[in-house]
Structure 1
């Protein structure tokens, strides 16, 4: 399936947030991209605000429109607050969890590792980035992939990052999803209520 492959900084500048990772250019040019980026801002409609929030969530988690719509539909059918359930489903994706555990430096890189069969779930190789994890699932690095420089470099840099819903054994390179994260635990700056309002129209 296709993915956004354009300039990452451009997306971050559109939302004035490091949506696709930290970048120095965002600090130097803290205004929207394009020839009218510095001009006086127009009044933004309610719909535009809601749409922008959905687009931001899509870029953060690396989903396309159809995938995101399916995820929202799934969330709306589950018990609980739809917006929170949506974020929980996004967080429980295999590619996102690989990124959270520090096995990959970005979600894009995590997606590549999964596709190329470097990741296991409960001991079995899984190459589907959208694979939905459940509480208690163990996510590991395939034995023959443990020496990959990309993985070892990422783990050494991100070892300080800890999330309440994840557990990581660095010596065995195995992580565990302890439980589905609460909304208060998810660090992403997303107003999920705006997304719910958009899809409710």
Structure 2
């Protein structure tokens, strides 16, 4: 098992939820946590515990972003006008690795980051190899010509387990996606309930 798969499944087990909705998630068989104490009955979480869990779940969903990077995104969201929790989701979904994953060009968010790092993605005709690159509305994201027949791409575009959200305009025959608009919480096809409002409370303490 690769490090990438190991990390992905570890996040699922730790949180006790299948946060990407993957059919192979171990949580589908074992809802308790990993380790010898994983099956102990869980007590009721405190307010702080609920906020921490919400942060871990959201951070984990986007490929376990580093705490420093995640906090910077929160700070940026808090400076923007409007609902901070909605702005937080909008900023996270504007990341290039999130868009490549949502467009079903790759099977997982972890694969998305690696795929971008290896130079397989163009944004507006120019190669971008940074997963955290912030896309703007109207940007065109495409798989480079020489990478379109990679097995990982063919596997992902054929996946039936998730749909492409309507804030992306995707043509799988050409492997091109356009970022149509910044989404809110209700637009994002999360497999489990996300609570960005609790993440805001966590950082506002």
**The two structures share one fold, judged by TM-score above 0.5:** yes
Distance 1:81 1:45 in 2: 25
2:190 is equivalent to residue 193 of structure 1: no
Structure 1, 40-49 or 77-86: larger mean CA deviation: 40-49
Cα deviation 1:65-122 (Å, max 9, x = unaligned): 0000000001111111111110111011000100000100001111111101100101
Quote the offset at 1:4 in angstroms.
7.7
Pick closer, same or farther for the CA change 1:44–1:170 going to 2, 3 Å: closer
Within-5 A mapping of 1:1-201: 6-19=6-19, 22=22, 23-62=24-63, 63-157=65-159, 161-188=163-190, 189-201=193-205
**Residues 75 and 86 of structure 1 are in contact (CA less than 8 Å); yes or no, is this contact kept in structure 2?**
yes
Secondary structure class of the residue paired with 1:18: coil
Distance 1:151 1:95 in 2: 14
Quote the offset at 1:170 in angstroms.
2.2
Q: How many residues align?
A: 199
Structure 1, 82-91 or 14-23: larger mean CA deviation: 14-23
What CA RMSD, in Å, does the superposition of the two structures yield over aligned residues?
Answer: 2.0
So what's the TM-score if we normalise by structure 2? 0.90
Distance 2:5 2:81 in 1: 35
Secondary structure class of the residue paired with 1:157: coil
Pick closer, same or farther for the CA change 1:122–1:94 going to 2, 3 Å: same
Answer 1 or 2: higher relative contact order, Cα 8 Å, separation at least 6.
2
Quote the offset at 1:19 in angstroms.
2.4
Distance 1:130 1:69 in 2: 14
Quote the offset at 1:161 in angstroms.
1.7
Structure 1, 131-140 or 185-194: larger mean CA deviation: 185-194
For structure 1, which runs of at least 5 residues remain unmatched after alignment? none
For structure 2, which runs of at least 5 residues remain unmatched after alignment? none
Pick closer, same or farther for the CA change 1:173–1:7 going to 2, 3 Å: closer
**Residues 20 and 59 of structure 1 are in contact (CA less than 8 Å); yes or no, is this contact kept in structure 2?**
no
Pick closer, same or farther for the CA change 1:17–1:144 going to 2, 3 Å: same
